[in-house]
Amino acid sequence: ASAPAGTTESGRSFGKPIPRVEDNRLVSGNGRYLDDLGHGALAAAFVRSPHAHAHIRGIDVEAALELPGVHAIYTYEDLEADSPEMAENLPLLIPHPAITAPRNGYPLAKDEVNHVGEAIVMVVADNRYIAEDACALIDVDYETLPAVVGIETARSAEHTVHPDVPDNVAAHLQHGFGDIEAELAAAPHRLTLELEIERSASMPMEGKGVYARWDDDEKALTFWTSTQTSTSARAAIAARLGMAHNKVHCIAPDVGGGFGVKIVHPWPEEVMVTWAARRLGQAGIATEVKWVEDRREHFISSAHERGQIHEVTVGFDDDGRLLAFDFSIWHDGGAYLPYGIIVLLNTSTQVLGPYKPRAFRVDAYSLYTNTVIVTPYRGAGRPQAVFAMERAMDAIAKHLGRDVLEIRETNFIRPEEMPYDFHLIFQDGRPLIYDSGDYQAGMDKLRKLIGWDEFAEYKERARAEGRRVGIGVGAYVEGTGPGPYEGAHVLVETSGKVKAATGLTTQGQGHQTSFAQIVADDLGVPVSDVEIVTGDTRRFGYAVGTFASRGAVMSGSAFHVAAQMVAEKAKKIASEHLHVDVADLELRGGQVCVVGTEPGAEGTSIPLGVVAVLSNPLRYAFDESSRQATGFAGAEVDMSKPPVPEGEQPGLEATGYYSPPTSTFASGIHAAIVETDPVTAEIRVLRYAVVHDCGNVINPRIVEGQVQGAVAQGIGGALYERIVYDEHGQMLNASYMDFLMPFVTEMPDSLEMDHTVTPSALNPLGMKGAGEAGVIPTSAVIAAAIEDAEGIPITRMPISPSELFELRATHAAP
């Protein structure tokens, strides 16, 4: 591939909108996704519960075992017979003191099922067709139990999901600051809002999947999984299979989207497929097993999010200044709690956004329901939080008859108040302190971008034509780049090309480009000379993972640390040969050269690849032929010197880690103009504008792509996407025929974007995260715009045309 546009031999690429180097490969069908691997593997399929809640009285697998091509059928009994580890509950990944009743399932259901889709039996066969046919021959005897579906039912506690959790409460979280009761009592104005965001789910183009290979000679297991967290998946599988980490390798191949649903580890299927590969491998039956999720499985047995009911009471003065924000949350946590309460923590710690009430109180419950588990979905609790806060802001403005932007301005935290300490604990366990941000600057830009001041006139004209249009706004602050750490390894090869690896994974964020930009700048080489590897424990074994918009901040910084170490080492080695001080050397144009000289000039520079040769104990390989190959005359190279200066290790490579003190806080403000059809109630987003702040930007093209994609997902969440269960816990829309996602035709005619840049002082490159931002305020913004168009309070999202139609009818009723 040719060097991407935007880079120069010596210029910095940080901040340049260079095209993503991975895209040619990915869009031309040359990606290697999970299902592109393991064609010779045996196929796994699962018998999944058709009931939302039931006891399992018995399982008959006899007929299925007889089916030709079936190699193994496993139930929980096989796990129990294998080892205590295999029989254990799946783990609680992020414990928290507010979790009062952690309950988790098993890799295969033990004696009860708690949601439709829960895996009960695994079949391994020659191919998926046979495996599915065998599943159909398996008879599970169920005694059905009443299902708890939806927050209201869970709250009523008439029935329970887990018999030993009588109120269905998995966790109860309370926090805040100030004297909320006193502030509410004294506030000149008070309002209470009931708000709801329905359950939804992320729909990556590629579902989950895992493929495992057992090596009986090495007694080692390698598995490929479509995951966001390969190092943690490796650790989890090693623990469950009772193996040492060095005998288990986990690789995330190309991953066709994750959006949070692929964070959890281990999935039941990961446990079962790896375990079966080892078991069948040891028995000499087969060494490879693979399972690829089908779309229905993705709907019913992977993970959902979003579902929350809120009650907000605000107290404010005549100017609209927020005195008290009293926030109750009920979160639909699903049947089990593998991911703890991270979504609830996000909602409850980020609801304040750019505003600073005098008093704040959260009272939050996570409730068990007989539905599939919850994992954070892009935005992870923040869209719900912003919906609560921004709907309250609009309600205050309406109550006081004031402009919605003005009310927000009144309450903004100001740049001079940064860093702003809320005296609360953030979801990462560290203090909630905003590091930087200029929310007013963002609003000023947005006002122009969307043409806020001209809208009233436009609305009037539209009205006169019989059209209904409305405008809405929503601001947010997002904690990004949480620790605890991320690491990277950077190696300059003797060819001068750079190989660099980090442990976190990639699902489409363009890391091969943006991380390469950082390394390329530090080493003074073109971006196209840097190869980035992610998500392969064989290359880099220690990592946390890709979520919470932490890739740029965490791995980006780790790459910078490691590349800087390599650059320093290269200068030290070169200084010995060029006889100049390290301080007088720089890395530029693929050379280590004397500052101010032309890279490549004889006597004042050495190619980076040659420095790599010199750093190597086997540098005698730098003979006449390699001199010719590199075109480097090399008079200045003295082979009698030791490879590296005293105190350094040979090899032009380094491993660096980055661990931030706290999260860094990105922010943004969005506005939308919508039109609603007076007859059909069809809702159309005409224009959408985003002003976004993720600190210093590595690659504006990537960031804009991330924001654009996330806004599309946000529009999906506002107008189309929701998971619908009936009262028995059966999902009514578990297919793309019924679960609506926006096409490009549903996107606004224009999506404009602008940036403010308030760098973070917490990491060396001043970055903040960007990957989730676009989805966070979208529901709030679109709800506000519909409300403006219709004059009807919008308190529940998503909203469909038929729901708007009914709202009109209710509102018009006497």
In the complex with ligand MCN, which residue's Cβ is closer, 115 or 550?
A: 550
Least Å distance, CB 550 to ligand MCN, is 5
- Segment near ligand MCN (CB under 6 A), from 241-249, 546-554, 570-578, 736-744? 546-554
- Whichever of 554 and 683 has its CB closer to ligand MCN, that residue is 554
Asked if residues 466 and 645 have their Cβ atoms less than 8 Å apart, the reply is no
Which C-beta is closer to ligand MCN: that of 224 or that of 377?
A: 377
Question: Which C-beta is closer to ligand MCN: that of 161 or that of 255?
Answer: 255
Q: What is the Cα–Cα distance from 792 to 651, expressed in whole angstroms?
A: 68
CB 333 within 8 A of CB 104: no
Shortest Å distance, C-beta 481 to ligand MCN = 7
Min separation Cβ 202 and ligand MCN, Å: 7
The answer to whether residue 549 forms part of the interface with ligand MCN (CB under 6 A) is yes
Work out whether 697 is an interface residue with ligand MCN (CB under 6 A): yes
Spatial distance between the Cα atoms of 406 and 249, rounded to a whole number of angstroms: 55
Q: What is the Cα–Cα distance from 568 to 607, expressed in whole angstroms? A: 15
* Residue 482 sits in the site that holds ligand MCN (CB under 6 A): no
| Contact string (CB under 6 A) for ligand MCN, positions 201-240, x = contact | ---x------------------------------------
Residues in contact with 498: Cβ distance below 8 Å, sequence separation at least 6, in sequence order:
490, 491, 492, 519, 520, 523, 525, 529, 530, 531
As a whole number of angstroms, the distance between CA 472 and CA 672 comes to 5
Long-range contacts of range 106-109, CB-CB < 8 Å, 24 or more positions apart?
106/76, 106/79, 106/268, 107/79, 107/240, 107/268, 107/271, 107/272, 107/275, 108/74, 108/75, 108/76, 108/79, 108/268, 108/272, 109/49, 109/56, 109/76
Q: For residues 644 and 569, is the Cβ–Cβ distance under 8 A?
A: yes
- Directed axis angle between helix 778-790 and helix 382-400, to 10°? 30
- Measured from the CB atom, the residue of 383 and 748 that comes closer to ligand MCN is 383
Of 5-13, 253-261, 355-363, 495-503, which segment contacts ligand MCN by CB under 6 A?
Answer: 253-261
User: Cβ closer to ligand MCN: 357 or 695?
Assistant: 695
Residues in 501-530 at the binding interface with ligand MCN, rule: CB under 6 A? 507-511, 514
Q: Which stretch binds ligand MCN (CB under 6 A): 118-126, 425-433, 612-620, 689-697?
A: 689-697
**Per-residue x/- marks for ligand MCN, 709-738, CB under 6 A?**
x-----------------------------
> What sections of 83-225 are H helices per DSSP?
84-87, 128-137, 151-156, 180-186
* Contact partners, residue 628, CB within 8 Å, separation at least 6: none
Read off the tokens for 124: 């391994």
Nearer to ligand MCN, 604 or 662 (CB): 662
User: Whose Cβ is closer to ligand MCN: residue 683's or residue 698's?
Assistant: 698
Which of 34, 113, 149, 694 is in the footprint of ligand MCN by CB under 6 A? 694
356-415: contacts with ligand MCN (CB under 6 A): 378
Q: Which residues pair with 515 in a beta bridge?
A: none
| Size of site (CB under 6 A) for ligand MCN | 37
- Is 798 an interacting residue with respect to ligand MCN (CB under 6 A)? no
Least distance in angstroms from the C-beta of 414 to ligand MCN: 23
| Residue 552 found at the interface with ligand MCN (CB under 6 A) | yes
State yes or no: residue 150 binds ligand MCN (CB under 6 A).
Answer: no
Q: How many C-beta atoms lie closer than 10 Å to residue 403's C-beta?
A: 12
Positions in 756-795 near ligand MCN (CB under 6 A): 767-772
242-249: long-range contacts at Cβ-Cβ below 8 A with a sequence spacing of 24 or more?
A: 242/83, 242/85, 245/541, 247/218, 247/219, 247/220, 247/221, 248/220, 248/221, 248/222, 248/223, 248/537, 249/220, 249/221, 249/222, 249/223, 249/536, 249/537, 249/538
Q: 331: alpha, beta or left, given left = phi > 0 and alpha = psi -120 to 50?
A: beta
Asked if 702 interacts with ligand MCN (CB under 6 A), we say yes
The residue ranges of DSSP E strands in 563-663, in sequence order, are: 585-588, 591-594, 605-607, 653-658
| 737: its two tokens | 């025929």
- State yes or no: residue 545 binds ligand MCN (CB under 6 A): no
Question: Using CB atoms within 10 A of its CB, is residue 337 exposed (0-12), middle (13-18) or buried (19+)?
Answer: buried
The residue among 314 and 532 lying less far from ligand MCN, judged by its C-beta, is 532
Q: In the complex, what is the shortest distance from the CB of residue 793 to ligand MCN, in angstroms, rounded to a whole number?
A: 30
Query: CA 687, CA 170: separation in Å to the nearest integer?
Result: 41
Q: Is the N-terminal amide bond of 419 cis, ω within 30° of 0? A: yes
Element (H, E) at 98: none
Q: How far apart are CB 765 and ligand MCN at their closest, in Å?
A: 8
Q: Which stretch binds ligand MCN (CB under 6 A): 164-172, 457-465, 571-579, 693-701?
A: 693-701
Return the residue of 150, 258, 479, 717 that touches ligand MCN, per CB under 6 A.
258
Shortest Å distance, C-beta 248 to ligand MCN: 24
Q: Compare residues 105 and 709 and give the one whose CB is closer to ligand MCN.
A: 709
Q: Which is nearer to ligand MCN, 38 or 258 (CB)?
A: 258
Q: How far is the CB of 526 from ligand MCN (least distance, A)?
A: 18
Question: Judged by CB under 6 A, which stretch of 174-182, 257-265, 325-333, 611-619 contacts ligand MCN?
Answer: 257-265
Q: How many CB atoms lie within 10 A of CB 59?
A: 18
Stretch that binds ligand MCN, among 63-71, 430-438, 626-634, 702-710 (CB under 6 A): 702-710
* 257 lies in the binding site for ligand MCN (CB under 6 A): yes
Q: From the CB of 490, what's the least distance to ligand MCN, in Å?
A: 16
772 vs 790, beta carbon nearer ligand MCN = 772
- Strands 119-125, 70-74: pairing is antiparallel
Min CB(553)–ligand MCN separation in Å: 6
Cβ neighbourhood burial of 597 (10 Å; 0-12, 13-18, 19+): middle
Chain residues in the site for ligand MCN (CB under 6 A) = 204, 257-260, 378, 507-511, 514, 546-553, 556, 694-699, 702-703, 706, 709, 767-772
